[in-house]
């Protein structure tokens, strides 16, 4: 049992190399993520933010280095990664809802098939989650009938239905029309306040300041600076970060 403050994810000197060695997307990244933390990752385009986030649940397999989740080395060949992914929710920029399934089926598919919940049980929980985001009346609609903001909120609760120990977000609001960004951020803040461990790649600095417990600046495949939102935004040390912040703030 992992309690607040204990290490949930440990990243040890991870490198990710593409194109036969010519492209170093991650260049020796180490990090420790504790339970209850809300980590916000920022950085310029191509700096390796997505690659880092996606290596946490092994959607990208590190070229070298190790990643521990709840004490287990998930980069080890012997580890059943599918088992551990059930405990790591992931939210994508483009939602990736299943278009051939209703909203409720999107939410209940994994709990029924993987957690072996009964249909009734899974649907009951699904409706509770839909209630949380105020979308109960969409239960039997299909994803194509929803707005972008609604789709992303459904994607978030689809992950929550698996009762994950951590939620990974890769630019969850970047594909949204501006007027829909707020509703998604609001839900994410609610999760953060509820104690969910979160790792969020985003350009929304307001989110970082409001609920982030730590902000990480990535550049050229490395973690160049990190700190509490206050020191990060008010007293950035790295010139690259100062330059970056002057552009985005």
Ligand X SMILES: Nc1ncnc2c1ncn2[C@@H]1O[C@H](COP(=O)(O)OP(=O)(O)OP(=O)(O)O)[C@@H](O)[C@H]1O
Which residues are near ligand X by CB under 6 A?
Answer: 18-19, 23, 25, 43, 45-51
One residue of 20, 21, 99, 194 binding another protein per CB under 8 A: 99
Kindly indicate which of the ranges 24-32, 152-160, 188-196, 210-218 contains the residues binding another protein, using the contact rule CB under 8 A.
152-160
In whole angstroms, how close is the CB of 229 to another protein at the nearest point?
27
Number of residues that this document lists for the chain: 249
Question: Of 3 and 45, which CB lies nearer to ligand X in the complex structure?
Answer: 45
- Residue 80: which residues within 8 A CB-CB, separation 6 or more? none
Question: Of 45 and 246, which CB lies nearer to ligand X in the complex structure?
Answer: 45
Contact call for residue 85 and another protein (CB under 8 A) = yes
DSSP assignment string, 149-186: HHHHHHHHHHHHTT--SEEEEESTTTTS-HHHHHHHHH
In whole angstroms, how close is the CB of 171 to ligand X at the nearest point?
6
d(CA 86, CA 160): 10
Is 218 in a helix, a strand, or coil? strand
Q: Mask 172-201, x = binds Mg ion (CB under 5 A)?
A: ------------------------------
Tell me which of Mg ion, ligand X, another protein, none is bound by residue 208, counting a contact when its beta carbon lies within the kind-specific cut-off of 5 to 8 angstroms.
none
Residues in the interface with Mg ion (CB under 5 A) total 1
In whole angstroms, how close is the CB of 108 to another protein at the nearest point?
11
Kindly indicate which of the ranges 47-55, 61-69, 115-123, 124-132 contains the residues binding Mg ion, using the contact rule CB under 5 A.
47-55
Contact call for residue 50 and Mg ion (CB under 5 A) = yes
Tell me which of Mg ion, another protein, ligand X, none is bound by residue 45, counting a contact when its beta carbon lies within the kind-specific cut-off of 5 to 8 angstroms.
ligand X
Q: Give, in degrees to the nearest 5, the angle at Cα 128 between 9 and 173.
A: 55
d(CA 235, CA 188): 26
d(CA 191, CA 173): 16
Q: What are phi and psi of 173, to 5 degrees?
A: -115, 5
Q: In the chain, where do the E strands start and end?
A: 7-18, 23-34, 38-42, 64-69, 72-73, 88-91, 166-170, 197-201, 214-219, 222-227
Question: How many CB atoms neighbour CB 23 within 10 A?
Answer: 11
Give me the residues that bind another protein (CB under 8 A), please.
57, 59, 82-83, 85-86, 88-90, 92, 94, 96-101, 109-110, 113-114, 142-144, 155, 158-159, 162
């Amino acid at each position: 049992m992992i309690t607040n403050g204990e290490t949930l994810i440990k990243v040890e000197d991870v490198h990710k190399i593409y194109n036969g060695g010519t492209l170093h997307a991650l260049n020796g990244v180490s990090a420790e993520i504790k339970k209850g933390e809300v980590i916000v990752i920022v950085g310029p385009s191509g700096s390796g933010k997505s690659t880092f986030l996606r290596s946490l649940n092994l959607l990208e397999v590190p070229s070298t280095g190790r990643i521990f989740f709840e004490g287990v080395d998930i980069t080890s060949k012997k580890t059943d990664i599918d088992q551990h992914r059930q405990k790591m929710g992931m939210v994508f920029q483009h939602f990736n809802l299943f278009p051939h399934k209703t909203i409720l089926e999107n939410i209940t598919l994994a709990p029924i098939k993987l957690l072996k919940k009964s249909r009734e049980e899974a649907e009951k929980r699904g409706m509770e989650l839909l209630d949380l985001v105020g979308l109960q009346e969409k239960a039997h609609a299909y994803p194509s009938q929803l707005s972008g903001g609604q789709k992303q909120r459904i994607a978030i609760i689809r992950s929550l239905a698996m009762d994950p120990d951590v939620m990974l977000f890769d630019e969850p609001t970047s594909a949204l029309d501006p007027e829909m960004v707020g509703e998604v951020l609001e839900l994410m803040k609610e999760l953060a306040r509820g104690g969910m461990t979160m790792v969020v790649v985003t350009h929304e600095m307001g989110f970082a300041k409001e609920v982030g417990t730590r902000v990480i600046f990535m550049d050229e495949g490395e973690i160049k600076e990190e700190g509490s939102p206050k020191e990060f935004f008010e007293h950035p040390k790295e010139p690259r970060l100062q330059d970056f912040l002057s552009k985005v703030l």
